[in-house]
A and B are shown apart, each in its own frame.
Chain A
Amino acid sequence: MSRKSERLVNLTIALLATKRYLTKSEIFRTVDGYDGSPEAMERMFERDKDDLRSLGIVIELGTFDPLFEDEAGYRITPASYQFNLGQLDGEDIALLSLAASAWSGASLERESSAALVKLESLGLECDSDALSFLAPQMSVNDPNFSLITDAIVRKAEIEFDYLGEDLSLKQKKVHPYSLKGDSGFWYLVGMDVAAEQVKKFRLDRIESEINVGKKGDRFESPVSHGLADDHLQERAVLKVRKGSAHQLRALAIETNPGDEWDQIEIAIINRSWLKRSILWHRDDVVAISPSWLRLDVIDSLKRMQALHG
């Protein structure tokens, strides 16, 4: 049995039930669990306030009568404490419950279970018709997942080791802006503090546990954030054999059809990916320009032939 959690619950009850602000001395006198020297109680109370705030409970500070210089007091207003998503019906509850259950066995299972408990406490009849139609399953298991989502919401700086293209581990300090799931991977977009550039990081390439900055330290997020390499991209010109290389064709900004070969132009977002992709398609794709790309591909082919000849 924990004295501390008992005291926190008692404090919550007292602050919720009161119509007026309770002063510190009233709290120390009446709420069970506060004892020791005045300084000790003071410290205890400061920590308790922080703890309740970290649970998302808003503690208001104010005075009973603004005309008198009263001692400031505390209270929790029911409006800020209580679940409020506006009018919900059975279908909403069913859909939200399905959404929560998608995390079974995955990264945010704990958070979604807590949400589910709250939904089930509302005493609303769940529309079981809506419940039966599908059951999606989230399967991200990354232990960093909840740390990142939390850091995005709190605007807290994060630090981690990132696997570079050359397999070196690079220490990154990032202001996380967004997290997106796409094509089987999760991408974090944020400001790389050292490089002063907005970059994209793939979650499974983060090789360390994420270190989240101190509470209260919030970074300023820009009004809009484009990825640094969104603009002024160099373009590659490729010849692709008719009826092949659909993956590269799908990226084409321009296509000039020919007889046996079509010519396409694509934006170069990732050089090494592009080179790999050209090599992967063997004699179905030929790099025309820029010259560094063409020479790079020729060089790889030469070395590959030399190695295996």
Chain B
Amino acid sequence: MAKEQSTPLEQTARMLDLVPFLLAHQGISINDLADHFKVDKDVILDDLNTLWMCGLPGYTPLELIDLAFDSGYVTIRNAAPLARVRTLSSSEIVSLTLGLDLLREASAEIAPERSQRIIELSEKLRSIIGADISIHDKSQTTFRTVIARAIKERGSVAISYFSPASDRQSERTVTPYHFLVEGGVEYFQGYCHTSSAIRTFRLDRVRAATESERSGKLENISAATGEKFRVHAAIHWMDRATLESFDLELTDIEGLSSITLEAFSEQWMARSILASGAGLEVLEPQELRRSIAKSAEVTMALYDEGAIA
């Protein structure tokens, strides 16, 4: 756990919340307590030592909060004024409402009987803060970002994937390579460790996605299957859309006149370069140069007078 100094204000908030928590968990170990409050054991000990000096004016033993924690287990007495659980802060409410948005989407399929309850809770909380902060579609937002992160960090994801063809849900570990859109549907392609092959998955059929322990041995896999497609391209100019389509950062292209781009589908690469609208020029391989010139020519011919009825 991160060892960071908390500000007096953070410590105050924690101490106020410690009292009702301890009242509900008499005899909890200091380690468990530190876990719940997401801080170091030393921090909690400091909190307890400070709290032990607090109480009602007068500050005689009768008025002080009575804490015992020498044995490593904490009990509390004489804490009546702070016994109440504090009201939720607006940022805590935001975190809960967004979490409920995810639950609502997920429950719609898995546990529809809970949906109404989730909506009621969510409305109750939203009416308190009155701010417009929400998530529209969970599967895309949450799972896509899990997968996007794995692509970026060359990691793997554990997914539950629904296949309508076999009408079955399967659990797979996948090292994802990239996203692609075909026919208005978003997919991602990657090496499926479960079936030991490169597979394409439809994003909206992913039912769950979490980061997986398995390290993505991306280089080995692509060397073994020869699937990875590399292009050396000259940068004539670059706009934001092109930058984002190749998942590059500003710093990746700084001062460069050419760049090596990688993808797992030659077709995806050819289309993405054409879409750059002459910002990128393929230098290698020659076949791709020719195929892009050909696509441009064929498409241009459709703009001739009378080409399309």
Contact = CB atoms under 8 A, between A and B. Distances in A.
A73 B256 CA distance: 67
A138 B302 contact: no
B118 A95 contact: yes
Interface string A33-54: 0000000000000000001101
Nearest to B57: A30
Interface string B206-239: 0001100000000000000000000000001011
Interface residues of B, number: 114
A134 B115 CA distance: 13
A222 interface: no
What's the dominant secondary structure at chain B's contact region?
Answer: helix
Interface stretch (B13-21, B66-74, B165-173, B193-201): B13-21
A140 to B, nearest CB: 6
B57 A112 contact: no
Interface string B88-124: 1111111111111111001100110010011001001
B281 A139 contact: no
Given A5-B50, A134-B103, A182-B141, A280 B250 contact: no
A137 B275 contact: no
A119 B149 CA distance: 31
B309 A301 contact: no
Closest 7 CB pairs of A and B: A99-B99, A246-B184, A184-B144, A178-B132, A247-B184, A30-B57, A181-B135
27 contacts: A10-B57, A81-B84, A83-B87, A84-B87, A91-B117, A108-B95, A113-B38, A115-B96, A117-B17, A118-B17, A121-B17, A121-B21, A146-B91, A149-B131, A154-B90, A164-B240, A183-B141, A247-B181, A249-B184, A273-B241, A279-B277, A280-B271, A282-B271, A282-B274, A282-B295, A303-B277, A305-B296
Interface of A: 1-2, 4-6, 8-10, 12-14, 16-17, 30-32, 51-52, 54-57, 78, 80-86, 91-92, 95-96, 98-103, 108-118, 120-123, 130, 133-134, 136-141, 146, 149-150, 152-154, 163-167, 177-185, 205, 207, 239, 244-250, 258-261, 272-273, 275-277, 279-283, 286, 294, 297-298, 300-305, 307-309
